[in-house]
Amino acid sequence: MSSPLPDVPEPRRPDVRVGDAERQAVVTRLKAALDEGRLDLHEFDERAAAAYAAKTESDLTPLTADLPEQHPQPASSVTARKRLTSGESSWIRLAVLLTGIWLITSIARGEVTFYWPIFPLGIWGLVLLANRLTGRRD
């Protein structure tokens, strides 16, 4: 029976057994192709099942032969680092302001006073942390 996939490249060493990492890499690539619309759900299911059942490289090679090569895209500067939300930026500005007021009052009194900004900053910080952990953004 002929292969349903045209021009399947020969595996480097077709008789070499594959492990879970190689199988998972193929399934990850198939999932990316599904997300891009290159495969429909039925094709993905068939190929993923075949990938998990693969024993050798020659079993895996045809599963991605008709898909374009994946090239990692460099992360943009915006996505490479986590951006602060406006709430977090405001919290930082308020922390600087309140700490400045606390510092001035401590110097004026001639002694280190209780760090009272911990209360408003702590409460607001916990709210911001909860929002970040639950995925809510402002």
In terms of domains, do 10 and 55 share one? yes
pLDDT digits (tens, 9 = 90+) for 73-97: 555 554 445 677 788 889 999 999 9
In terms of domains, do 3 and 64 share one? yes
Name the amino acid, one letter, at 138.
D
Q: Which of 72, 96, 115 lies at the terminal end of a domain, its last residue?
A: 72
**Which pLDDT score, from 0 to 100, does residue 54 have?**
92
In terms of domains, do 96 and 64 share one? no
User: How many domains does the chain fold into?
Assistant: 2
Entry pTM: 0.45
The answer on pLDDT for 114 being more than 50 is: yes
In terms of domains, do 115 and 102 share one? yes
In terms of domains, do 53 and 105 share one? no
Structural domain that includes position 127: 77-134
Cβ proximity of 30 and 58 under 8 Å? no
In terms of domains, do 106 and 81 share one? yes
Cβ proximity of 62 and 8 under 8 Å? yes
Distances (CA, A) of 103 to 28, 95, 98, 107, 119: 54, 12, 8, 6, 16
In terms of domains, do 33 and 88 share one? no
Give 13's contacts (C-beta < 8 A, 6+ positions apart). 57
